[in-house]
Structure formats: structure tokens, C-alpha cells
């Protein structure tokens, strides 16, 4: 499927305002901070995506993934844009980037069970501030990057894998929700090491995460 038909279809699946085709934004989405210097020098050697989409619900994420799966369109999920490992680098023409910008709600701060539940695009700083209002903490502050997204923080290998107050991810991670091309996974319990949701070839898009919090 060519770029024009992909963009047209995405505008029908979502709304035109949720589909970004700005050339500067697409160039920025071509790679993460792993190639920061090349990006700044306008010297990236990778293709730009066809579009960036901003779904507002898990159902919209699922519809986008279903369309891309049906037509063989490559997908890159992203959240806080703080990655430094090359995981967000595009390598294929006509890729679609799913951005969690509008999945930005803190769903619950549970002071009884000591758990926080938030959508994937919530910045860690926002969640930390909400927890502190209740005398609690995510355990990841101080941090050099509190604007990392909640979903990105919870992934194995991310800087949230061993926060100072809660230890290894297997001790604080509770569950997560994600969308696959053919289904929405409403909630999956962790296994040691955290949920490995960044597996090339079967990559789902995380939409919600719940983990333990602690007293300050």
C-alpha cells in the first residue's frame, strides 16, 4: 500500500486531526536519541515514516494495528520520545508511528493497595506529582528524566527497571494492558523481569500500566 492510501485510510479510522504528516515531525520520528547528532545535522540515513497517529483510546490503537497488520504496514509505538537505544529508529518505507500523546490520564492512585494505574502516555513527573500529593512516590525520583512516559518506564531495559525505592521490576510491576493487531489484552500479570513488550515482529502497543508505589 502506498503512502497516500495509508494516510487516507488512517484519517478514516481515526480523524484527520489525529494524523500528522508534517515533514519536520516525520523527520524527527525517523530515529530516537541514539542518532541525536546525525538528526541535528540533518544527516539521518533512514526513511521517514508515512504518518504519526495519536489515538485517544485502546480501541483506536487496536483499529490502527488491525489495519496495518492487514496491509503489511510497519508500526513503531512511541511515548515520551526519550529512548536512546535505537528502538524507535525507522527502517522501512511507509511506516506508521503510534504516539501515546493523548493516552495521558492517571486512572487511579490506590492508597490502600499502594498501586498507581495510568495510561501509557502519562509523563512520570505527572504521576510522581500526583503520588506525592498523597504522601507517596513512584520510587523513581530523583531521576535524570522524569518526562519519560509511564509505559516506557515500565518496560524492561528502560531506566525504570530498578528504581531506588522499589528495587527490581519483578517486585513492583503489577500488570499492563496492550493492543495487538487482532485483540486488546485488558490486563496481564508480570513475569520476572517485567513485560517484554518490545519484541520485534510481534510488537504490541501498551496502553495502560499498573505498578506498586511506596511511601516517601
Q: What is the pTM of this model?
A: 0.80
Q: What are phi and psi of 189, to 5 degrees?
A: -70, 150
Q: Which residues contact 57 (CB under 8 A, 6 or more apart)?
A: 103
Closest CA to 52 of 86, 2, 91, 17: 17
Query: pLDDT tens across 155-203, in order?
Result: 544 544 455 555 555 455 667 777 777 766 666 554 434 444 443 333 4
CA 187 to chain centre: 16
Domain boundaries, the chain: 3-99, 106-215
Query: pLDDT tens across 118-144, in order?
Result: 988 888 889 889 999 999 988 766 655
Pairing of strands 106-110, 75-78: unpaired
Topology of domain 3-99, per CATH?
A: 3.30.43
Q: Are 153 and 124 in contact (CB under 8 A)?
A: yes
pLDDT score for 72? 92
Q: What CA–CA distance (Å, rounded) separates 204 from 2?
A: 23
Say yes or no: domain 106-215 is CATH 3.30.465.10: yes
Amino acid at each position: 500500500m502506498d503512502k497516500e492510501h495509508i494516510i487516507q485510510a488512517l484519517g478514516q479510522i481515526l480523524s484527520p486531526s489525529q494524523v500528522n504528516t508534517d515533514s519536520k515531525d516525520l523527520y524527527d520520528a525517523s530515529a530516537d536519541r541514539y542518532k541525536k547528532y546525525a538528526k541535528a545535522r540533518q544527516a539521518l540515513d533512514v526513511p521517514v515514516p508515512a504518518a504519526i497517529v495519536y489515538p485517544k483510546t485502546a480501541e483506536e490503537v487496536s483499529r490502527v494495528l488491525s489495519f496495518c497488520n492487514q496491509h503489511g504496514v510497519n508500526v513503531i509505538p512511541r511515548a515520551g520520545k526519550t529512548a536512546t537505544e535505537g528502538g524507535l529508529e525507522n527502517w522501512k518505507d511507509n511506516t506508521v508511528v503510534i504516539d501515546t500523546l493523548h493516552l495521558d490520564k492517571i486512572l487511579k492512585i490506590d492508597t490502600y493497595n499502594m498501586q498507581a494505574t495510568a495510561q501509557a502516555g502519562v509523563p512520570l513527573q505527572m504521576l510522581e506529582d500526583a503520588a506525592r500529593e498523597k504522601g507517596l512516590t513512584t520510587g523513581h525520583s530523583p531521576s535524570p528524566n522524569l518526562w519519560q512516559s509511564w509505559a516506557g518506564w515500565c518496560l524492561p531495559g528502560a531506566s525504570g527497571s530498578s528504581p531506588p525505592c522499589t528495587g527490581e521490576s519483578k517486585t513492583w510491576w503489577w500488570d499492563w494492558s496492550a493492543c495487538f493487531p487482532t485483540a486488546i489484552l485488558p490486563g496481564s500479570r508480570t513475569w520476572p523481569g517485567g513485560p517484554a513488550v518490545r519484541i520485534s515482529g510481534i510488537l504490541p502497543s501498551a496502553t495502560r500500566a499498573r505498578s506498586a508505589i511506596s511511601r516517601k
